[in-house]
Chain A
Amino acid sequence: MWRDALLVAGKDLRIELRSRVALWQVLPVAVLSLVLYAFALGPVRQTLASAAPGLFWLAVLFSTVLATQRSFAIEAGEGTRDGLRVSGIDPAGVFLGKAAAVAAELAVLQIVLWAAMTLLFGVHLHTVWLALVASFLATIGLASAGTLYGALSAGLRVRETLLPLLVLPVLAPVLLAASRAWSGALTGSVSSGLSWLRVLGPFAVVYLVIGIVLYGPLLETA
């Protein structure tokens, strides 16, 4: 399973490196959304600073939807998905690989967004390790759930409107916990941040395990 995962992850990432869609489309949209939030909330520094962690994770959330849609769009060609299925690759491995690729893209995205946020909203991370752990756990949760729902809605003509409706509520708890954790990391209140890590952890594990278990049954031929 792990070898298959590496195979698939490598394939997805190589496609991304060659096409650079995430780099030129998803990333700019994410940064743009931070700018738009500032337009929406007004230029008062206080407001933006207190809203910063939530806005950061909102941007990451929407980027997750885009990234997973992209992850499945690259296989939308004739028979590509069937080819993957009959090639004998363990479906759990496919899931892990695709989720890992999405997670990698999200990680890069978060670094850029953090820089943008520091610049645009004037906030500084007080407790960096807390933010890093929160990001790590949240990214696993986001990538896992996103990949599973991406597979679920792949091939549907209404995919663009249905995928957000399906996956955003599932990602909402991660948004909540990650925002609170980063809020703690920004202000230095470690204890409250830690309690939110206790929420992020189980979500990461649960979504990852569910993805591994259900990806195969989801994709198998009738």
Chain B
Amino acid sequence: MSYVDAGYAVGLSVLVLYAIGLVVRRRSLERAVELSLPPSDSADGAAETGGASGP
């Protein structure tokens, strides 16, 4: 494997792995927040934005 290939491989794989890590962290935190929202809070939630509907 040439140095060029190694460079591209290292660069891209680190970026991809970090990106995946970010997405995973975000998803688990969103789930945690959703779970901890008590039912009486849905009034606040609805007033603000109307629920999670993002991409």
User: Do A and B touch directly, given a CB cutoff of 8 Å in the complex?
Assistant: no
B interface residues, Cβ below 8 angstroms from A: none
Task: Enumerate chain A interface residues (CB-CB to B < 8 A).
Answer: none
